[in-house]
């Protein structure tokens, strides 16, 4: 590490050169094939190169920008490492990395850490007789998510899973909060399937009991005309509108097809919804669960009272079919495809999933949503078309290969070419959650106990975002949201601005102050509250010192005597070189009078995190 | 599609900025541009606000029941054959007739009504003339009969039965398009200029960004009950040398003018919000302590903060305000009976508490509260819930309204009736335009501006008519 300080020290000079960042430089921005060969990186550590411009750390900037798309936050070591191996090789390595964590296992482990404490405080009898008081609620899953994403090195998979979680939405803001392991298992599905096939993902989420509860196709019976009961249409609608094809027929490039009158062409109508509703009948929980009684021997039964709540079922196994409760008769799917009468529930569902999966909309629809999550809010039609083409055929004749799709998105010229930085429509507002994960990951947050069990509740309250915590199935923001002003005037979209309000925009600044100036980096909860049953305590001043979160800022403190070098380093790590000279000067001017180096670094971080260049990815 | 662009071009912010003072734009961006827009509006003949500052205060409180309230279990026919029809159609979702809370009203068809058993406060408000229902309201582009709907001879709303579209269209009242501008925002485009205080938006949201309160030149100001009001940058209040240094640094960063529209949108929101906070918090700190007590839940807490804000209207220098609450969670495909019992109970109490507070403040005759929701729900059951439908029942409340009535024609609840367009989905008999036009006119939107606020209104109602579209407003 130490060697790099020289480089950064000299970045005061380098800054001068760096004013040219928006223009081209060798090796930057033309990396469509993306094999940035960086064997010369070793020589970059020679400070001379920073002055004479011969070696430069230029591709470190490009890599840092790329890692803003591809991770939940990269530290300096990762930036250097990816520079050394090249983006393409790094992607190969990430794609080849099997899932390294299991969110459900971690959730159970955390709950099992608390459970004995509840027993200790309240007594076995009180705990078991207080209804659902001490069940493994949602917050153990939240702690597990934070713990795992902060620790694991399969950073691309983590980033992609988080992106999927905003497309295939379920939320704790529902009765799903009764089952932390269920939420975790659903997330495991997104995480483990991140680089798999879209068809499998669509099938798996459709059969997941948490989705079943969220969009109410669990316990959904066939129609009963005598009693005016019809199949529940909720999942039938949303799987089409949100998870696969969208509302309108699309061209390959994501623009809408038009009929002869020039109108949009709906992909489905209410009759189609009714047909798909019939498909999703007959599903029920696979088994039952209760924390302190063995329910596993109870056979699953249609209409059982245990079926009604995520708290009393096994939420980590797919729903099972009760064919007697499945709508008999044929069903007409999209494009006139008829599912014959008499099939089993799962045969019908498989046919319906195939019907949607093979709809030509999926590539452009899902492709554009993923681009918006990972790279930019307003991809050009050509970019969408390139990604959709890969969705349709990964080059080996396979449709829906998400690994190929992710690679196409991340290595597209429109993602990597720095000339896009000057284009008004380029870029996106970085989600508050990603600003937070980056703050913690970029500086290697840790604690002595190794329990990074962040609750994330106050963060959510402040900025309206958390993992699997949106207010509805429409995520935290709509893909076509337009904030008032210049973005609307140019008819552009900027989804994340939907949660950049007069309250959240200010709360974010206050959070940044808490993180860096107050050393309050999260709500770590490791002990049971003494006052409320089944509530972890997380008051900062009551924390066990071994659980106290801290950042490793030693590298920053070591160069802080040179404010310019410090700010350049933060600019590299956090934005990939997007700070304007004015922004750098403003930060430098503010921190230079601070003589305590620790304080200077924290002040620099506070200011860097509220600079618009940090929150706006270009 | 054409329509949207016409509106935007007619009053686009950019075109005003072209004619307005550039110096002002450079300094405080949106706040001053609101002022400019006020001037520009008059120049453009879009509006000629005649509201004088001081006195004449009016506020509209919108409660959005997001998710689609099953409102045919909120307002239920309770007598004879009418109840039987209801019970037959709703099957296992029907409330027992004995549980309904009777309200004193009989419609032209002899229908008598009860409200949901969780709503004794609403029953009381209705029977005391403080609250009315409007029946079977929904999104329509133009007057639509069942035949016209079925043969496709009229324009129908895009994305019918879809949450995202219908919740948007209730806020825009332009159901033929997808638009991100709402009718409350368009009211503010016109009426904001009448407020003495031009810094704080006329439109105040308790629930963050929404479409309803965003106009072509206006946006909402979000406050939070959990924060006790507006939110400000904490470090700006610090006095230590370090905090002052941070404040100066932060201000220098946020004051930069960015060509980049993402960055300028980012900083404009922060700067405007901080300026608004400084004013708002100074005012709200002077709010009197109300003797009305509010329940301990988020909806009541929001209503209490609205009451406090209205209490300091003179300090804030406003005589027109809209408030917006998003009360979500009504998408009861499942367990509709239990869920509605909980949620309608919360709503009912919050309404009564707010009305009491308005009476305590002496402003009940200038504050109108109204509800909206994505859509009504299918009359038939899907097992233990109901699905997305179309027309639904809404509530209006205040001393400003003709209380104790059910307006509109409460539809037949028989299957395959003239209102049932298939699948127990009810064709609305009153458009959102008519509903909102009546509120807008009361609020001060002139006849000539009505079609700016509600572009489709003349499909349903002559803006120059001497009578009101529905008749629920008392004046």
Mean pLDDT by 10 residues, chain B (475 residues): 28 26 23 31 35 68 96 98 97 96 97 98 98 98 95 86 87 87 96 90 92 90 89 94 96 95 96 92 94 96 97 95 95 88 97 98 97 96 91 98 97 95 95 98 96 98 96 91
In the stretch 214-253 of chain A, residues with CB closer than 8 A to chain B read: 215-216, 219-221, 227-234, 237, 241, 247
A26 or A172, higher pLDDT: A172
Residues of A in contact with B159 (CB under 8 A): 247
Q: What is the pLDDT at residue B152?
A: 79
Sequence-separated (6 or more) residues with CB below 8 Å from residue B433? B140, B173, B454, B456, B457, B459, B460, B461, B469
Average pLDDT over residues A28-52: 35
Show the CA angle centred on residue B92, arms to residues B87 and B95, nearest 5°.
55
Given pLDDT bands bounded at 50, 70 and 90, which one contains residue A434? very high
User: Residue A325 falls within a domain, yes or no?
Assistant: no
Q: Where are the alpha helices (DSSP H) in A242-344?
A: 270-279
- The verdict on a CB contact (< 8 Å) between B385 and A232 is yes
- The verdict on a CB contact (< 8 Å) between A234 and B234 is no
Q: What is the pLDDT at residue A169?
A: 96
Q: Do the Cβ atoms of A557 and A597 come closer than 8 Å?
A: yes
Task: Measure in Å the smallest separation between the Cα of B81 and chain A Cα atoms.
Answer: 18
- The verdict on a CB contact (< 8 Å) between A237 and B92 is no
What are the C-alpha distances in Å from A275 to residues A90, A279, B427? 45, 7, 22
Residues of B in contact with A505 (CB under 8 A): 266, 269-270, 273
Residues of B in contact with A213 (CB under 8 A): 334
CATH number at residue B318: 3.40.720
Interchain CB contact of B44 with A (< 8 Å): no
What CA–CA distance (Å, rounded) separates A79 from A576? 9
User: Residue B334 falls within a domain, yes or no?
Assistant: yes
Q: What is the pLDDT at residue B19?
A: 25
Nearest Cβ partner of B385 from A216, A270, A500?
A216
Given pLDDT bands bounded at 50, 70 and 90, which one contains residue A292? confident
Given pLDDT bands bounded at 50, 70 and 90, which one contains residue A130? low
Average pLDDT over residues A466-487: 92
- Name the residue among A600, A553, A598 with its Cα closest to residue A573: A553
Interchain CB contact of B235 with A (< 8 Å): yes
User: Residue A532 falls within a domain, yes or no?
Assistant: yes
Given pLDDT bands bounded at 50, 70 and 90, which one contains residue A227? confident
Interchain CB contact of A506 with B (< 8 Å): yes
Nearest Cα residue in chain A from B277? A502
- The verdict on a CB contact (< 8 Å) between A509 and B263 is no
Nearest Cα residue in chain A from B258? A612
Interchain CB contact of A326 with B (< 8 Å): no
User: Residue B466 falls within a domain, yes or no?
Assistant: no
User: Residue B475 falls within a domain, yes or no?
Assistant: no
Task: Measure in Å the smallest separation between the Cα of A55 and chain B Cα atoms.
Answer: 30
Which run of H or E residues covers position B400? none
Percentage of residues in chain A with pLDDT exceeding 90? 77
Task: Measure in Å the smallest separation between the Cα of A101 and chain B Cα atoms.
Answer: 33
User: Residue A377 falls within a domain, yes or no?
Assistant: no
Task: Measure in Å the smallest separation between the Cα of B358 and chain A Cα atoms.
Answer: 26
Nearest Cα residue in chain A from B204? A502
The whole domain housing A520 covers 428-547
Task: Give me A134's structure tokens.
Answer: 């001490």
Q: Do the Cβ atoms of A583 and A566 come closer than 8 Å?
A: no
Task: Give me B345's structure tokens.
Answer: 């109970």
Residues of A in contact with B262 (CB under 8 A): 427-429, 487, 494, 612, 616, 618
> For residue A222, is pLDDT > 90?
yes
How many structural domains does chain A have? Answer: 1
- From the number of C-beta atoms within 10 Å of its C-beta (0-12, 13-18, 19+), residue B370 rates as buried
Model ipTM value: 0.90
Q: Do the Cβ atoms of B366 and B96 come closer than 8 Å?
A: no
User: Residue A537 falls within a domain, yes or no?
Assistant: yes
User: Residue A449 falls within a domain, yes or no?
Assistant: yes
Interchain CB contact of A428 with B (< 8 Å): yes
User: Residue B255 falls within a domain, yes or no?
Assistant: no
Sequence-separated (6 or more) residues with CB below 8 Å from residue A297? none
Nearest Cβ partner of A485 from B13, B221, B270?
B13
What residues form DSSP beta bridges with B224? B229
User: Residue B108 falls within a domain, yes or no?
Assistant: yes
> For residue A14, is pLDDT > 90?
no
Q: What is the pLDDT at residue A24?
A: 32
Nearest Cα residue in chain B from A600? B242
**Dihedral sign computed on CA atoms, order B251, B257, B259, B261:** positive
User: Residue A19 falls within a domain, yes or no?
Assistant: no
Mutate to test the interface with B, among A427, A498, A506 (most CBs of B within 10 A): A506
**Least confidently predicted of A281-285, A385-389, A421-425, B85-89:** A421-425
- The verdict on a CB contact (< 8 Å) between B266 and A481 is no
Secondary structure of A8-59 in the HEC alphabet? Answer: HHCHHHHHHHHCCCCCCCCCCCCCCCCCCCCCCHHHHCCHHHHHHCCCCCHH
Nearest Cβ partner of A503 from B159, B223, B252?
B223
Nearest Cβ partner of A612 from B208, B266, B378?
B266
Task: Give me B326's structure tokens.
Answer: 């998003």
> For residue A90, is pLDDT > 70?
yes
> For residue A355, is pLDDT > 70?
yes
Q: What is the pLDDT at residue A23?
A: 29
Q: What is the pLDDT at residue A362?
A: 98
User: Residue A65 falls within a domain, yes or no?
Assistant: no
What CA–CA distance (Å, rounded) separates A189 from A211? 12
Task: Give me B423's structure tokens.
Answer: 């699948």
User: Residue B165 falls within a domain, yes or no?
Assistant: yes
Convert the pLDDT of each residue in A41-76 to its tens digit: 333 333 333 333 334 455 899 999 999 999 999 999
User: Residue A445 falls within a domain, yes or no?
Assistant: yes
The whole domain housing B192 covers 2-229+269-459
How many structural domains does chain B have? Answer: 1
Q: What is the pLDDT at residue A471?
A: 82
Residues of B in contact with A575 (CB under 8 A): none
What rounded mean pLDDT belongs to chain A?
89
Convert the pLDDT of each residue in A601-615 to its tens digit: 999 999 999 999 999
Torsion angle, CA of B248/B254/B255/B256, rounded to 10 degrees?
A: 120
- The verdict on a CB contact (< 8 Å) between B249 and A500 is no
In the stretch 585-614 of chain A, residues with CB closer than 8 A to chain B read: 586-587, 589-591, 593-594, 599, 603, 606-607, 610-613
Within 10 A of A128 (CB to CB), how many other CB atoms are there? Answer: 16
Task: Measure in Å the smallest separation between the Cα of B105 and chain A Cα atoms.
Answer: 29
**Least confidently predicted of A132-141, A311-320, B82-91:** A132-141
Residues of B in contact with A478 (CB under 8 A): 164
Task: Give me A109's structure tokens.
Answer: 């482990």
What CA–CA distance (Å, rounded) separates B129 from B148? 37
In the stretch 358-387 of chain B, residues with CB closer than 8 A to chain A read: 378-383, 385, 387
Given pLDDT bands bounded at 50, 70 and 90, which one contains residue A540? low
> For residue A230, is pLDDT > 90?
no
């Amino acid at each position: 590490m130490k060697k790099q300080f020289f480089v950064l020290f000299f970045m005061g000079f380098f800054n001068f050169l760096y004013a040219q960042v928006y223009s081209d430089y060798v090796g930057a921005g033309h990396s469509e094939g993306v094999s940035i060969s960086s064997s010369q990186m070793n020589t970059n550590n020679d400070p001379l190169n920073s002055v004479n411009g011969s070696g430069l750390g230029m591709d470190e900037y490009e890599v840092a920008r790329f890692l803003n798309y591809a991770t939940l936050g990269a530290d300096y070591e990762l930036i250097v490492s990816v520079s050394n191996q090249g983006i393409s090789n790094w992607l190969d390595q990430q794609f080849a990395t099997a899932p390294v964590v299991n969110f459900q296992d971690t959730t159970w482990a955390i709950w099992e850490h608390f459970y004995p404490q509840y027993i200790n405080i309240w007594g076995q009898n009180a705990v078991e007789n207080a209804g659902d008081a001490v069940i493994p609620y949602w917050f153990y899953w939240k702690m597990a998510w934070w713990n795992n994403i902060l620790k694991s090195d399969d950073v691309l998979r983590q980033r992609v899973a988080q992106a999927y979680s905003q497309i295939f939405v379920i939320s704790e803001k529902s009765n799903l909060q009764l089952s932390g392991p269920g939420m975790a298992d659903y997330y495991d599905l997104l995480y483990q399937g991140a680089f798999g096939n879209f068809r499998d993902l669509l099938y798996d989420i459709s059969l997941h009991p948490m989705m079943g509860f969220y969009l109410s196709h669990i316990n959904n019976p066939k129609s009963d005309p005598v009693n005016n009961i019809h199949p529940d249409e909720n999942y039938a609608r949303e799987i089409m509108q949100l998870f696969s094809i969208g509302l309108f027929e699309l061209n390959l490039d994501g623009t809408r097809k038009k009929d002869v009158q020039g109108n949009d062409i709906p992909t489905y109508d209410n009759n189609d919804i009714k047909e798909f509703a019939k498909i999703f009948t007959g599903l029920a929980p696979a088994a039952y669960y209760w924390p302190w009684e063995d329910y596993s021997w109870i056979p699953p039964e249609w209409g059982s009272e245990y079926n009604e709540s995520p708290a009393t079922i096994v939420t980590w196994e797919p729903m099972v079919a009760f064919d007697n409760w499945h709508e008999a008769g044929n069903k007409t799917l999209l494009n006139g495809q008829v599912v014959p009468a008499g099939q089993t529930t799962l045969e019908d569902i498989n046919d319906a999933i195939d019907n949607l999966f093979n709809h030509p909309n999926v590539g452009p629809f899902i492709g554009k949503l993923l681009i918006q999550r990972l790279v930019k809010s307003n991809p050009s039609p050509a970019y969408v078309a390139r990604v959709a083409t890969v969705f349709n055929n990964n080059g080996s004749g396979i449709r829906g290969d998400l690994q190929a799709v992710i690679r196409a998105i991340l290595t597209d010229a429109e993602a990597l070419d720095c000339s896009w930085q000057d284009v008004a429509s380029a870029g996106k507002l970085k989600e508050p959650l990603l600003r937070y994960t980056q703050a913690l990951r970029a500086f290697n947050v840790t604690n002595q106990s190794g329990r990074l069990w962040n609750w994330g509740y106050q963060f959510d309250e402040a900025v309206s975002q958390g993992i699997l915590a949106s207010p509805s199935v429409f995520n935290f923001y709509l893909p076509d949201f337009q904030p008032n002003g210049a973005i609307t005037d140019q008819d552009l979209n900027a989804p994340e601005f939907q949660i950049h309000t007069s309250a959240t925009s200010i709360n974010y600044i206050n959070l940044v102050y808490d993180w860096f100036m107050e050393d309050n980096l999260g709500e770590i909860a490791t002990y049971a509250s003494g006052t409320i049953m089944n509530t972890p305590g997380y008051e900062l001043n009551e924390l066990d010192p071994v659980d106290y979160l801290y950042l490793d800022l030693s590298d920053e403190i070591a160069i802080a005597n040179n404010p310019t070098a410090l700010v350049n380093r933060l600019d590299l790590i956090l934005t990939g070189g997007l700070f304007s000279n004015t922004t750098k000067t403003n930060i430098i001017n503010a921190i230079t009078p601070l003589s305590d180096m620790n304080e200077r670094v924290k002040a620099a971080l506070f200011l860097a995190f509220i600079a618009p260049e940090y929150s706006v990815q270009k | 599609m054409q329509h949207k662009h016409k509106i935007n071009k007619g009053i686009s912010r950019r075109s005003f900025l072209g004619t307005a003072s550039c110096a002002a734009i450079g300094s405080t961006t949106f706040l001053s541009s609101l002022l400019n827009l006020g001037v520009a509006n008059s120049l453009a003949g879009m509006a000629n606000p005649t509201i004088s500052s001081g006195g004449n205060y009016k506020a509209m409180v919108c409660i959005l029941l997001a998710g689609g309230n099953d409102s045919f279990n909120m307002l239920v026919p309770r007598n004879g054959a009418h109840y039987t029809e209801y019970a037959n159609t709703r099957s296992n979702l029907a409330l027992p007739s004995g549980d309904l809370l009777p309200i004193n009203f009989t419609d032209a068809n002899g229908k008598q009504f009860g409200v949901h058993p969780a709503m004794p406060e609403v029953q009381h408000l209705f029977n005391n003339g403080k609250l009315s229902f409007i029946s079977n309201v929904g999104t329509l582009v133009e007057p639509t009969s069942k035949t016209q709907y079925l043969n496709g001879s009229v324009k129908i709303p895009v994305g019918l039965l879809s949450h995202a579209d219908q919740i948007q269209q209730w806020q825009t009242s332009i159901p033929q398009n997808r638009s991100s501008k709402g009718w409350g925002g368009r009211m503010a485009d016109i009426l904001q200029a009448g407020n003495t205080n031009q810094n704080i938006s006329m439109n105040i949201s308790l629930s963050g960004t929404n479409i309803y309160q965003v106009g072509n030149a206006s946006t909402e100001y979000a406050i939070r009950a959990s924060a006790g009001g507006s939110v400000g940058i904490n470090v700006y209040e610090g006095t230590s040398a370090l905090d002052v240094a941070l404040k100066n640094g932060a201000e220098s960063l946020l004051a930069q003018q960015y060509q980049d529209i993402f960055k300028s949108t980012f900083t404009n929101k922060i700067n405007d919000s901080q300026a608004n906070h400084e004013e708002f918090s100074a005012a709200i700190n002077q709010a009197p302590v109300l003797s009305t007590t509010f329940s301990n839940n988020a909806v009541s807490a929001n209503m209490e903060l609205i009451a406090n804000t209205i209490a300091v209207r003179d300090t804030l220098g406003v005589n027109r305000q809209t408030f917006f609450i998003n009360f979500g969670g009504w998408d009861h495909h499942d367990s509709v009976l239990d869920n509605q019992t909980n949620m309608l109970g919360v709503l009912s109490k919050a309404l009564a508490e707010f009305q009491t507070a308005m009476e305590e403040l002496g402003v009940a005759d200038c504050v109108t509260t109204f509800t909206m929701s994505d859509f009504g729900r299918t009359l038939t059951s899907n097992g233990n819930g109901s699905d997305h439908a179309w027309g639904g029942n809404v509530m209006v409340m205040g001393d400003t309204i003709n209380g104790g009535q059910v307006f509109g024609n409460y539809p037949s609840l028989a299957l395959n009736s003239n209102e049932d367009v298939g699948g127990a989905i009810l064709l609305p008999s009153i458009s959102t335009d008519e509903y909102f036009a009546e509120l807008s006119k009361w609020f001060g939107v002139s006849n000539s501006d009505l079609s700016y606020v509600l572009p489709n209104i003349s499909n349903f109602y002559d803006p120059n008519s001497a009578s009101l579209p529905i008749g629920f407003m008392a004046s």
